[in-house]
Amino acid sequence: MRTIAELNQHCGIPGIVSVVEGNGHLPKIRITSRAASGEIYLHGAHVTSWQPAGAKEVLFLSPHSLYQDGVAIRGGVPICFPWFGNKADDPQAPAHGFVRTKTWHLESVEHKRDTVTVRMFTESSKSTKKWWPSDFRLSYRASFGAELALEAIVTNTGDEPLSFEEALHAYYRVGDVTKASVAGLDGVQYLDKTDGFREKPQADEVVITGETDRVYLNTEGKLYLSDPVLQRRTMVIKENSRNTVVWNPWSEKAAAMKDLGAEVWKSMLCLEVANVGNNAVTLAPGEQHAMQARVKLG
């Protein structure tokens, strides 16, 4: 593993991109361009900040997040892979897979037309095969500019079919989640994880009135998060994603989470671009799959 100084020498761009020591002494890439500022950690390839020029921070990051090996950062955009939620055949396996708690390899940084693109990757190893026998390479591209563009690319590097679930588990900062709403899911069926995975229809916009944990089915359309308190609308554009997950833990569950806490749950709403459950992806040997999310204000 290269040192922070070596990473900065290899990928830093004077005045625009620097590799620095983040929380918990973990290396992170800090971006400041004319179009936006942002941050992404090598720990989990985890985007923790995106702030377009002239706007307030778009992503929520818990003030109680833990920054340590084997623990996911709470907030920003965690990457869930190769399963979502608990592993069906192994309750001891880490929730949402293992890549969000791994140190990724920094591949390259590029600055073009006021957009900074960071590329990282992780792949199968002895440590991953403790939990999952398959061979894979997962590449990630995060572009910070007037929009935030995220792309996860999975390649089956083995000689057997590869089946997996995936999600970009984005936490969005809101002024008050009870006053926010999400458009773009009207008429879509969803699985309600707070009610025994019962399938229900969505009517009109999504509003948060209690603990919310929903997996929307067979949806590929744009999402619109309206926030009257912060006076903005956030648009999420999905590609090669058949599921949308909407999550907020509400007060009681948030209070029980030591890396979140009772006082900040109103400031966040997760809108997750995903392929899970019946929409899990299967790749033949050598085949590749890319899932994308683009985030814009306005």
* Residue numbers annotated as active site: 169, 272
Q: How far apart are CA 267 and CA 208, in angstroms?
A: 12
61 near 53, Cβ under 8 Å? no
Q: How far is CA 83 from CA 49, 63, 69, 123, 292, in A?
A: 25, 27, 20, 15, 17
Q: What are phi and psi of 253, to 5 degrees?
A: -70, -40
DSSP state of 68: S
- Which tokens sit at 57? 């921070």
Judge contact between 115 and 144, C-beta under 8 A.
yes
Query: What contacts 8, CB < 8 A, 6 or more positions away?
Result: 18, 19, 20
Length of the chain: 298
First to last CA, the chain: 40
Query: Two tokens at 225?
Result: 């998060």
